[in-house]
Amino acid sequence: MPHLLAAPDKFKGTAGAAEVAAAICAAAESAGWSSEAVPLADGGEGTLDILGGPNRRSRVTGPLGEPVEAEWRLDGNGAVIEMARASGLGLVGGAEGNRPLEASTRGTGELILAAVGGGARRITVCVGGSATTDGGWGAVEVLDGRLSGVDLVVACDVRTEFRRAAVDFAAQKGASDSEVTMLERRLDRLAQVYRDRYSVDVTALPGAGAAGGLAGGLAALGARLVPGFDLVADAVELDERVTRADLVVTGEGFLDEQSFEGKVVGGVAELCGEAGVPLLVVVGEVYSELSGRGGSVTVVSLSDSFGADRSISDPAGCVERAVSAHLSGVRSRPTR
């Protein structure tokens, strides 16, 4: 019996990774394939759920100063924190409700302190989905001098440089052109502060611009920056699962150039190319093709196949039908 590995990211705003993976597996089973669901994340929103889910809750300062209840995970002396739950754009109602010059990561710093207070000595901070472009200053002010003996790891969802955080992403958080310029200048000043105070050049660190520069701010305090996809892939032993599959199916809401800069689709495509395993990529919309990136890859756009309205209102159903259609025409590789 041929075997399918369902390894998608979330379809942001419409379906979670676990829901999409279940739809892929339903199509596989209907077609007579065995299947395995391994929902993924890239270090941004949803990563906490992939790494075990929350089992703690703390009241912290939200991105615009209001109190929020943020969930996190404690497992022995290890903790996992998702910054979007304390300082995320969704907490302020999206870009329309945000005040980009004021949005702060202070609550993320408070959440890290809560983990330290709970006994955590290994803390993974998943960054992405932020309302902020404060260079991590809000968190740094809270944490400065209070992380002795703590191994802090930042799972970055992008490889963006520190000062590029404003230019590349601030507009998505509601910043006007003039505000983007102001935020860029503020990041430049902060980079100098971090050099002077902590002897860390955050401008030289890949991924330091993640979450509006939060990754760089935490790096100034001694955190290690790692690709979020790699961290998740190692945790779920993805490379081994890929080699056992006859077909891998991944996906996300939008396929664009960012999909290949530390995101799930690009990471899965690389693993499949190395293992020689065919890959089906199912996405809401396509803005950049996978052609020329190696391996046997098929891309399906739900918007093109089912229409934009249906792909948004019933993404899981559309994913299941798209995978079913693909499998009906697939001649599987010999099983091993």
* Distance from C-alpha of 224 to C-alpha of 78, rounded to nearest angstrom: 15
CA distance 17 to 7: 8
Is residue 8 within 8 A of residue 21, CB to CB? The reply is yes
Contact 38, 241 (CB under 8 A): yes
- Identify the residue with better confidence: 273 or 289: 273
Whether pLDDT at 252 is above 70 = yes
Residue type, 318: C
- Tokens for 89, please give them: 């754009």
The C-alpha angle 50, 55, 58, rounded to 5 degrees, equals: 115
CATH architecture for residues 3-40+236-328: 3-Layer(aba) Sandwich (3.40)
Check residue 258 and give its pLDDT.
75
User: Could you tell me the CATH superfamily of domain 47-229?
Assistant: Glycerate kinase, domain 2 (3.90.1510.10)
Q: What is the mean pLDDT of the chain?
A: 94
Distance (Å, whole) CA 220 – CA 200: 5
Judge if 3-40+236-328 and 47-229 fold alike in CATH terms.
no
List beta partners, residue 297.
Answer: 279
DSSP sequence for 25-55 = HHHHHHTT-EEEE-----SSTTHHHHTT---
Which one-letter amino acid corresponds to residue 269? A
Confidence band, pLDDT 50/70/90 cuts, at residue 254: confident
pLDDT beyond 70 at 331: no
**In this predicted structure, what is the pLDDT of residue 13?**
82
CA distance 23 to 144: 45
Is the pLDDT assigned to residue 293 strictly greater than 60?
A: no
Q: Which two tokens stand for residue 121?
A: 């000595």
> Would you place residue 335 in the very low, low, confident or very high pLDDT band (cuts 50, 70, 90)?
very low
Per residue in 153-172, pLDDT (tens digit) is: 999 988 999 999 999 999 99
> What was the pLDDT predicted at 243?
97
Q: What is the pLDDT of residue 262?
A: 75
Residue 309: is its pLDDT beyond 70? Answer: yes
In our burial notation (b when 16+ CB lie closer than 10 A, e otherwise), range 5-23 reads: bbbbbbbeebbbbbbbbbb
The three-class DSSP label of residue 121 is coil
Instruction: Round to whole Å and give the CA distance between 80 and 153.
Output: 10
Segment 208-237 mean pLDDT = 97
Is the separation of the CB atoms in 200 and 194 below 8 Å? Answer: yes
| Cα 73 to Cα 49: distance, rounded to the nearest angstrom | 9
- Tens digit of each residue's pLDDT (9 = 90 or more) over 39-73: 999 998 899 999 999 999 999 999 999 999 999 99
Helix (H) or strand (E) holding 190: helix 177-198
User: How are beta strands 78-82 and 67-75 bridged, if at all?
Assistant: antiparallel
CA dist., res. 150 & res. 132, Å (int)? 24
Whether the pTM exceeds 0.85: the reply is: yes
- Per-residue pLDDT for 288 more than 90? no
Q: Quick check: helix, strand or coil at residue 113?
A: helix
Residue 310 has pLDDT above 50, yes or no: yes
Cα distances (Å, whole numbers) of residue 317 to 20, 22, 27, 270, 285: 9, 10, 10, 27, 16
Q: Coil, strand, or helix at residue 102?
A: coil
- Per-residue pLDDT band at 287 (split at 50, 70, 90): confident
Q: Quick one: which of 107, 102, 42, 41 has its CA closest to 71?
A: 107
Instruction: Please report, for the chain, the start and end positions of each structural domain, with discontinuous segments joined by +.
Output: 3-40+236-328, 47-229
Q: Please indicate whether residue 263 or residue 89 has the higher confidence score (pLDDT).
A: 89
pLDDT of residue 329: 84
Mean pLDDT of 197-225: 97
Beta partners for residue 287, in sequence order? none
